Structure 1
Amino acid sequence: MSSLTAALGRSALGRPTLADRLVSRSILTDVMLVAGGAAFTGLLAQIAVPLWPVPITGQTLAVLLVGSTLGALRGMVSLAVYAVLGIAGVPWFSEATAGWHVVAGPTGGYIIGFVIAAGLTGWLAQRSFDRKVLGAVASFAAGTLVTFAIGLPWLAASLGLTLSQTLEAGLYPFIVGGIVKTLIAAGIIPLAWKLTSRRK
């Protein structure tokens, strides 16, 4: 194991994540997992229901799965790569958009929030929250709340909205979807842990 990989492991205290159960840890696998997580987020971002100013997308489900699977550090790096490459021109923000104007616009806070949410769900995963359904629900609900905690003030500041307008535009339309995505992720990850445990 290289010194860089060892440092990554030491900086992310806790039990191994699902990714560590599936593949051996190395710089190459870390890079591939980070890139794969960014691409997966970009793919699910294209599953979208167009709404203004914030569309309903599959991004938040991807964030929960990537953070939990990769852990705090790799999860945050993966979502940061997603954001940076999207700013640089890769058309994988929602509805195949790209560019700085997306992050600087009304939805930018959600994209920033994805990085923090992936870190939180990854941190909790490294403490085994994601191995049982109830713990996974708590972890993914927390990650979802973090996304909104950053996204909503950004939305309000970007468009000059009142609190009521912000909630109507940036929260209320997403409550049911957020619950559904939390439950989907909380079904997938514990099941994956069970399957890998049986295989091992």
Structure 2
Amino acid sequence: MASIGPWMNLKQTTQKHSVHAEMLGSVSRPVKVAKDLLLILVGVLLIAVSAKIAVPMWPVPITTGIVAVLGLAAAYGPRLGLATIALYLVCGALGVDVFAGSAVLST
């Protein structure tokens, strides 16, 4: 077996990397689809709520939505992350109150 260093060999470096959302266990196809849909809905809800929380800074206040987006991207990976952001944008385009500074919670 080829050795890269005294502490690592090639066999150890070929492990599959996965995101946190895929570590919930292997399940059948319908259960996986339901799990993915639930994760996407929870992600949209998290982004919508965090978009309403503003950190007062001068001259432009910053929302915590960016923290939620980056956290979901790291936890969900590219496929679920993109689906979550796409559904968030579709909800906003349909008139759901999900964006920062929208009518319901603005003062």
Q: Distance in 2 between matches of 1:59 and 1:83?
A: 13
2:32 maps to 1:32: no
- Superposed CA RMSD in Å reads 2.6
- Tell me which residue corresponds to 2:73: 67
The structure with the largest alpha-carbon Rg is: 2
2:85 maps to 1:44: no
- Tell me which residue corresponds to 2:12: none
Larger RCO (CA under 8 A, 6+ residues apart): 2
- Tell me which residue corresponds to 2:20: 18
- Tell me which residue corresponds to 2:6: none
In structure 2, relative to structure 1, the CA distance for the partners of 1:23 and 1:37 (3 Å cut) is farther
The amino acid of 1:15's aligned partner reads H
- Identify, as 1 or 2, the structure richer in strand: 2
Give percent identity, aligned residues only.
Answer: 33
In structure 2, relative to structure 1, the CA distance for the partners of 1:80 and 1:74 (3 Å cut) is same
TM-score between the two structures when normalised by the length of structure 1: 0.38
| Alignment length (residue pairs) | 85
Unpaired segments ≥5 residues, structure 2? 1-15
Q: Distance in 2 between matches of 1:20 and 1:89?
A: 32
2:58 maps to 1:58: no
Unpaired segments ≥5 residues, structure 1? 1-13, 99-200
SS at match of 1:92: coil
In structure 2, relative to structure 1, the CA distance for the partners of 1:92 and 1:50 (3 Å cut) is farther
